Amino acid sequence: MRIVLVGLAVEHIALIAVMHQVVILPLKSINKVYRAFSRGYSTYDIFEQPYELSKEHALMMRQMREMLGQKDIAELYQSQAEYMALQNQINPHFLYNTLEGIRSEALIGGLPMVGEMTETLARFFRYTISNLRSMVTVEDELLNIRHYCTIQRFRMGEKISYEVIFDEGQEQEIKELFMPKLILQPIVENAIRHGIEPIIGKGLITIRFKLLASRLIIIISDNGVGMDDEQLEELNEKMKITRRQDNDTLQERGGIAVGNVNSRIKLLFGQDYGLRFYSKAGYGTDVEISLPVMKEVESMEER
């Protein structure tokens, strides 16, 4: 009896070892490639996998490659290469140490405003460059907006101000929700550049949050120059675009950053989500951002 139990135990251990080698390791390896690729800063080739889960999986990958075409694949990897090159050129430690050095010299020299500006700029870069998470909390995004608007106020003075509005009793719940990183700042930047800078007088950016049953609605408003009906219709048509090579057409009015934000949202969550513009010439512009309600996200790090 003891020999039988020992034999069964050995077989069980052997089976676990085989499953770990044949199933678990391939799955973890493939998942790591997919996760890194989805974040946009990986140069992994998703079509060249070290393991083949099944014939059906291999067939699916071949069909995906054929459907995309060599040109689209080349552009996809070119985008990643450009991102990695930019990231590698910016050494965060060097940048932060330099900014801290400037801040210290400014404070020693009796220039507190320069010191504050440098510190705010360092915090903004730290969020943008060093924080590699693709999903962040609403509170994190709003803190980045505060830093960005502070930088803009150093440049534009009292011409620009901003406010954040939540539906009553929902502020803390909304702040704890998750959203894609760097969604708000490009919209605010676009509002300042195209809406507020051309006007005479003070500009106001308002960020409103509305929490629905399954959607988070964010409306970013400005009291700038606005758009006429033709411009508005053209821009909303362009917001239907999700392919990278078409985003260049957004340069004239919407800006490449706005097209990038809209495409990221649609690629992550589907065509039901994204950006929509509302505007009237002389009365400012509203940008409505529609996102799914996300109360948690899975760990972004490979353990």
**Quick check: 145 and 207 in contact, CB under 8 A?**
yes
* Residue % of the chain over a pLDDT of 70: 61
Residue 301: predicted pLDDT = 39
Residue 252: predicted pLDDT = 43
Q: Is the pLDDT of residue 66 over 70?
A: no
C-beta neighbour count of 192 within 10 angstroms: 22
Q: What does the alpha-carbon distance between residue 21 and residue 49 come to, in Å, rounded to a whole number?
A: 16
Question: Taking Cα atoms as reference points, which of 245, 235, 285, 294 lies closest to residue 265?
Answer: 294
* Pairing assessment for the beta strands 203-211 and 160-166 based on DSSP bridges: parallel
State whether the Cα torsion 163-168-173-177 is positive or negative. Answer: negative
The tokens of 226 are what? 């606005």
Residue 11: predicted pLDDT = 58
**26, 37, 49, 60, 129 from 54: Cα distances, Å:** 11, 21, 12, 10, 38
The band of 69, judged by pLDDT with boundaries at 50, 70 and 90, is low
Q: What is the pLDDT of residues 179-223, one digit of tens each?
A: 998 899 989 999 998 999 999 889 999 999 999 999 999 999 999
Q: Is the pLDDT of residue 279 over 80?
A: yes
Q: Is the pLDDT of residue 148 over 70?
A: yes
The beta strands (E) that lie in the chain are given as: 135-137, 160-166, 178-180, 203-211, 215-222, 274-279, 285-292
What mean pLDDT comes out for the span 120-135? 77
Q: What topology is assigned to 150-292 in CATH?
A: Heat Shock Protein 90 (3.30.565)
Instruction: Give the residue, 57 or 246, on which the prediction is more confident.
Output: 57
Instruction: Give the residue, 67 or 163, on which the prediction is more confident.
Output: 163
pTM of the model: 0.65
Instruction: Give the residue, 88 or 53, on which the prediction is more confident.
Output: 53
3-state percent helix, strand, coil for the chain, nearest multiple of 5? 60, 15, 25
Mean pLDDT of the chain, nearest integer: 76
Q: What does the alpha-carbon distance between residue 173 and residue 209 come to, in Å, rounded to a whole number?
A: 11
Residue 218: predicted pLDDT = 97
- Most distant pair of Cα atoms in the chain: their distance: 93
Q: Is the pLDDT of residue 288 over 80?
A: yes
Burial class (CB in 10 A: 0-12, 13-18, 19+), 243: exposed
What mean pLDDT comes out for the span 163-172? 93
Residue 116: predicted pLDDT = 84
Q: What is the pLDDT of residues 230-274, one digit of tens each?
A: 999 999 998 887 654 444 434 444 444 788 788 888 888 888 999
Residue 64: predicted pLDDT = 66
Q: Is the pLDDT of residue 119 over 70?
A: yes
Give the DSSP letter of residue 176.
Answer: T
State whether the Cα torsion 71-76-79-84 is positive or negative. Answer: negative
The CATH 3.30.565.10 portion of the chain extends over 150-292
* Residue % of the chain over a pLDDT of 90: 32
